[in-house]
Structure 1
């Protein structure tokens, strides 16, 4: 009776020719595993998980030959077919000999403990992965910043010279056009780096993801060959998300292309959109701020799956399993960066022979949420001269920007960093209408410079320019106190960023 009230399963083993066999099991086994004691004795090792069987047999042999307590963990099959984690403590009783004594054993259900340990391990792995991706993001963003400065100098000068060149200079104009086109392609490359580093400038608007996918159906179908079958499952009643439409389309495109490349012999690609359910709770918990409603985008293939040893690296920039020249390794990195910047989470489900599914979890919003406009208008609308303080630590970018503005009739004050800009502004007795400053500079960053100058010039308008935007100036832009100009840029974009600020003051310069 006492044994029946103990939480653990009590049992004894005796040696047999091929190892050990049960000769007693307490009735607690019925509560914990669903078998009667008689059934348990008859089943023996047949219900031990195959991966654990060898270790169980080895530890049992040790218990027969040693007076010390032997402890080990293993999985055993419940009557319902699922495996449960147990911990056995074995100790030999009786005389020790070549055949060993009878072994007394206690089996404890440790399923809850194992689950907690697994959850703690997953949390630790998530933190380590987040730190690694954050470090890679900073590296990628830094590369994009430097690269965009170079592209601004190269492409900006090429477009500026092209404006000044007579139409008769065909050969030179063609060469400049090729330079500008190459810079545009390189700029797309840096935008992918910025997407991964979560430093891209987004223009969120209320979007219905099923509508975005529906608009892309024809284009996605053309992207695939006849050996692929593209299927869609777009559920009704999906709430809107706040997202940048262009970037959302790029996410869908990148995932479909990735699925296509995973099946060189062809196969089926599923694109699904739905509202989250209770089954998604674990993934939603990994979102930066789990919202009340979540929209799920899934892209699945029927390929061979992603090997387990590389799964944690697939979102790293420049990591690719494709042949040389067939992939940049930025597609999934861009997906990861955009989703995280949008407050979402990316889940990967993959197995050998079962294909791969990417699940994108994004927070839903109210349909009436206004769009956040952070892009500069492109049409200049100047009337009379302005004074612009240009600040950039990159000499090539600074000289080009000043030349463009002077060409358009602006008065320009030029500074190589924030400290010099503050000194020049303090010593300038006339108006300074616009501060055009880089964001990331040594010593004093652009936002700090703007704050300091506004103390003495409260009507100062600000334009931030950068190839590596930050969250601080974007908040400045949202308050209507600044405009953002992304590098690389050409003269039309530069003038378009400054002209609306000038118009508010009633002073501007007609571009030439």
Structure 2
């Protein structure tokens, strides 16, 4: 045994343990200092570290000299009181093995196993401690425990049925499986698993498929359907593995997960994806039709304008008069098709106002009855109380006429068309099932018929322009496309419910309007008025349209200044010494739009009135196709009569 000298009262000499310089002392000193294990000699009374070997220096990060100036309390994470208590146990030989957490010089905390033996040296009580780094072991234990707790938690919380079958007969089932199937444990144990399958075919398919997978991969997973005790079916993900590798005869353990919600979500997602693709297709077609409508409108403006003026200058008994009327009728029908295209593409400029849908529909009932014919009964069921909506009244006319004509054509012989209104609230759940819907308060307009109905493949295309199931010459295929465009332009939604031989119902939802008072539409015939001596500046970049419009205005008696485009118009303003009462300008022009042009001219003529005209979307003067109050707008193509009325409105 190593001879130990007494330590002085203040501190022991650095080599207090190695006073004797003999071979034995050198041997034991080397064993202490160079042993691979971390070793400490600790004063059992005070906790002072008396000696530390090189392994301790490496492990803790302090030098041996630094360690010998420390107490074990400086290293142990226990409180000083707890540390003294543990040292007392070691000193009294109550314990030899301790599990501690020790600090290192860089601030790390390490788990350690400490083996302490108590020795007496010249009357001093000393603890010889061997320290093993247990950090990795403790971490592995904690990870294992956490993993076990996690798996146990998942097992308890997950809605998974678990069981064992032998020859496909239940031998063990858990509570989750009973809850899934509605059967008690006693009702399942000893029963064939066939009890859970809705058909023999499904039962045989699952058995065959799992057998093949288990033979190949030692595990089989299939999606199937189970029939609960109450008769309802659920979608199940079934995973099975043999108790003995690839030996089904010894029994199979399985887990069953109810995936009904997931399968329903997949079906809903496929439905929503189809609705989204349809909406994108409709939007693309809308942009295309809007461009076509713009170009065609300019041509129609010239045709109808000159035809109208030619009719005014032709005697009714002249042979050419009838031809001119036919040209005008064809042009007007073409103009109506253009208006439908613009309505579908949501590029129709509108002037909405607050109105009561009941009042508006009520004023149309007699006309709609004549439209659908006497053999079809028109049932009008208005809501007792209805909030206002904000929409152009003419658009209500368009929607009702198109829907009622569609309903009439779906009825063979005698039938009923029902128009109904109702205030509704659309919730988030409904929006989840119907792509494009937004939660909120709406006024619903419903048009139903008991006609032939439609199969799904027809319903997918009914809002596409030019799509029709009618014969050649019986329809343009723009009626329902027009309805769709109007609804979308007014931030509304439309749903269709139909089955072959069971009729069709269209439900239109328009947002409720609460910012203004209800206003009912008032229609009145306005007679054309001629000039009262005013001067009009006419601006149009199309020379043919410019010439035609100038002729119309001059025939109405106005003094007309013309500018073929904005820059030419500004030159006319500079050279004109007199007053200009009204600016009549196209909206979309290459050099400058109509609104910017009017702003420039208003600098010289502050009291100038403005009438905008366009055959396309008036987004320059309208917000999303909706005219602000006080803005006067004339849709192309227009007649002399329509032009005269709009001019007087603008000059009023």
Q: TM-score, normalised by structure 1?
A: 0.81
In 2, distance between residues paired with 1:234 and 1:280? 26
Aligned to 1:66: 216
Q: Give a deviation string over 1:89-117, Cα, whole Å, max 9, x none.
A: 333442536x7774432222334445555
In 1, distance between residues paired with 2:601 and 2:310? 34
* Maintained 8 Å contact 2:219/2:240: yes
Check 1:85–1:442 CA distance in 2 against 1; reply closer, same or farther (3 A cut): farther
Match for residue 481 of structure 2 among 318, 322, 333: 333
C-alpha displacement of 1:360: 1.0
Aligned to 1:10: 162
Aligned to 1:470: 618
Match for residue 258 of structure 2 among 109, 115, 119: 109
C-alpha displacement of 1:28: 0.9
In 2, distance between residues paired with 1:130 and 1:319? 16
* Maintained 8 Å contact 1:63/1:91: no
In 2, distance between residues paired with 1:365 and 1:491? 36
C-alpha displacement of 1:339: 1.0
Match for residue 164 of structure 1 among 313, 316, 337: 313
* Maintained 8 Å contact 1:379/1:496: yes
In 2, distance between residues paired with 1:48 and 1:355? 34
In 2, distance between residues paired with 1:318 and 1:227? 28
C-alpha displacement of 1:391: 1.6
Verify: 1:416 aligned to 2:568, yes or no.
no
Verify: 1:489 aligned to 2:638, yes or no.
yes
What are the within-5 Å matches in structure 2 for residues 5-404 of structure 1? 6-15=158-167, 22-37=170-185, 39=187, 44=194, 48=198, 56=206, 59-77=209-227, 83-96=233-246, 102-114=251-263, 117=266, 121=270, 123-165=272-314, 167=315, 170-224=318-372, 231-264=379-412, 269-277=417-425, 282-283=430-431, 290-291=439-440, 293-303=441-451, 305-351=453-499, 354-366=502-514, 368-369=517-518, 379-380=528-529, 382-393=531-542, 395-404=543-552
Check 1:272–1:371 CA distance in 2 against 1; reply closer, same or farther (3 A cut): closer
* Maintained 8 Å contact 2:443/2:511: yes
C-alpha displacement of 1:122: 5.0
In 2, distance between residues paired with 1:4 and 1:385? 88
In 2, distance between residues paired with 1:352 and 1:89? 42
Check 1:265–1:380 CA distance in 2 against 1; reply closer, same or farther (3 A cut): closer
Greater gyration radius: 2
* Maintained 8 Å contact 2:196/2:226: no
Q: RMSD across aligned C-alpha pairs, in angstroms?
A: 3.9
* Maintained 8 Å contact 1:387/1:431: no
* Maintained 8 Å contact 2:530/2:556: no
Q: Give a deviation string over 1:110-162, Cα, whole Å, max 9, x none.
A: 34445555555555444433332222112222222222222211111111122
Alignment gaps of 5+ in structure 2: 1-151
Check 1:113–1:144 CA distance in 2 against 1; reply closer, same or farther (3 A cut): same
* Maintained 8 Å contact 1:49/1:74: no
Aligned to 2:587: 439
